[in-house]
Every structure is written in C-alpha cells, then in structure tokens.
Amino acid sequence: MTKALFIIDVQNDFTEGGALGVDGGAAVAAGVTDYLAEHRDEYELVVASRDWHDGDSDNGGHFARDAAPDFVDTWPVHCVAGTPGAEYHPALDVTDVDVHIRKGQGEPAYSIFEGTDEAGRGIADLLAERGITEVDVVGIATDYCVRQSALDALEHGQRVRVLIGLVAGVAPESSEAALAELGHAGAEIVAADA
C-alpha cells in the first residue's frame, strides 16, 4: 500500500463560528471521521495539518494587525498556537492520524508541505520514507490550503485525488476555480465514495 490521506486544517477557527469559519466546515469534520472509519485500511499513512500561528507577531504579514484584512494575503488573527481556535474540530476523530503537521509558525503557510511534525520533519520526507505515491486530499479550505497542498503534492510527483464532499471552501466561485485548476494540473476530482 502506497497511499496517504491528507486531512487539511479541520480546525475550530475554520469551521462555523470560528475566526475564519467556512460554511460546511463542521460537516467536513464529521464526514472525514466517518470516511476514515470506513477506509482506514486503504492508507499507509494518515496525516493531519493545522495552522499553528504565533500569537505575538503578524506571522510574516499573514495577520492583518494594522489595517483591515484583504482576505487574499492578509487575514484576521486565526489559529494561534495553543488556543481553542487552533484545535481540531471536535467532530474530527484524530485517533487514526499517524502524523500531525503544524504550519505557519511565524510565517504565511497554505500547504501541508510548508509545515513540520513535532520532530521537525517535513511531509515530503515522510512520504519518501513510506514509499507513498498516491495522496487523497480532504479538508478546509478548498480554495486555499486544500488547493495549495494538492498542487504541491502533484509537484512532488504524487498521484492526487481531491475527495468532493469532504472539502469546504471560502466561496463557491473560488472553490470551483480551485477544483478546475487542480483538475487541469492533473489531480482527480472524485466523490468521496468513489
């Protein structure tokens, strides 16, 4: 088995009621839990990422501290390390997660490939160690961190599938554009039950 599941940023601040909550975020958390309960044996490696931003800086300009956020490059304060907003959504069962990646520690980071595990290892090294050649991607947000993580997985030579029904985006238009871009780049866009 040479397949991994990436669970991208299913955190309280990215679900309904959070600092940057998206519609459908809680449903994604519950859906990923159900999916993993049924499909865990299909994956050699299950990895979950979290934004894990510094609370005492603007994280390389990522946090809009002195002006209104533009929601492209600058954002409201979110997912500050050690706060409830940075924790996984309670509907996401992480029991079967093998590796936890933290990203955005003092800098902007959208892709799981920009983070590290607690030992400081990056995801590219972890995939190589396990001989992973295929990655399924789920999580939040379709048009930002899911998009960039999937693009980077393709860049690293992975066969990539994005599982529709287990992703939620900031806006319908940008989410549709992201999925189209991913499909054009070589990712398969498939239903989670396919």
Residues labelled as active-site residues: 9, 103, 145
Q: What is the number of alpha carbons within 13 Å of residue 103 lying toward its C-beta?
A: 24
Query: Using an 8 Å Cβ cutoff, are 47 and 112 in contact?
Result: yes
Query: Using an 8 Å Cβ cutoff, are 189 and 162 in contact?
Result: yes
State the DSSP code for 115: -
Query: Using an 8 Å Cβ cutoff, are 142 and 175 in contact?
Result: yes
Rounded CA-CA distance 61/84 in Å is 22
Element (H, E) at 174: helix 172-185
Strand partners, 139: 8, 167
Element (H, E) at 163: strand 159-168
Q: How far apart are the first and last CA of the chain?
A: 18
